[in-house]
Amino acid sequence: MGLFKNFVSQTRKPEGFLGKMMLNGMNTGHAKLADWGLSYVPSITPQKAVDLGCGAGRNAGELLTRYPQAHVTAIDYSLLSVEKATAYNQQMISSGRCTVQQSDVSRLTLPAGTYDLATAFETVYFWPGLEKCFAQVANTLKPGGLFLICNESDGKDQTGQKFEKIIDGMKCYTAEQLETALRKAGFSEVRFDHHASKPWIRVLAKK
């Protein structure tokens, strides 16, 4: 259990050799979930988007592809994730369309009222103080800006509950719990959807 716990705990903040192994699998392992989540976003043309908890960078890259007019900022509080995401999106960084930086979502240093779209894939499980963090996200968005949350766990599935017991600081939320925290944080509209056959949820909030 010791090695297994150490490995799966890298989902929270990848570091060292085990963190590199975890990140190597994130881009492919979370791709279907992320694409399913992004299909929930209405047709928009964001000029600026931010991917919060960007991991190894694939989803930031997908935002760059889906929104060719947008500049995408990718942030993570793991330095190793920042390095991986930078390498993954190097071409877009060089062309001026992408920025990758280390930051903590509970203390965001992003400019206020700037972003049209924020995304968070498989990451809010680890955010310290959900309402406080969501308020930080709301502050970065323009009026009418959208915030997409996408999780593999709906807060009720056995797998999610199992990992809650293994990984320190992990909390799987129901869509209803996320909606409550989002509204308290200042989002005016919230809707959510469950996958037809998996315990996946996607939540879309509007500032």
Dist CA 181 CA 184 (whole Å): 5
Binning pLDDT at 50, 70 and 90, where does residue 11 land?
low
Contact 125, 170 (CB under 8 A): yes
Contact 73, 48 (CB under 8 A): yes
**Mean pLDDT of all residues in the chain?**
89
Q: Quick one: what percent of the chain has pLDDT higher than 90?
A: 74
Q: Quick one: what percent of the chain has pLDDT higher than 70?
A: 86
Residue-wise pLDDT for 91-112, tens only, equals 999 999 999 999 999 999 999 9
Contact 53, 105 (CB under 8 A): yes
Report the half-sphere exposure of 39 (CA within 13 A, side-chain side).
Answer: 10
Amino acid 19: pLDDT: 44
Dist CA 118 CA 149 (whole Å): 9
The answer on pLDDT for 14 being more than 70 is no
Dist CA 95 CA 116 (whole Å): 21
SS3 72: strand
**β-strand pairing of 71-76 with 48-52:** parallel
Binning pLDDT at 50, 70 and 90, where does residue 38 land?
very high
62's tokens? 């997908």
Amino acid 30: pLDDT: 77
pTM of the model: 0.91
Q: How big is the CA angle at 159 (ends 156 and 162), to the nearest 5 degrees?
A: 95
Domains in the chain, start-ordered, CATH in brackets? Answer: 2-206 (3.40.50.150)
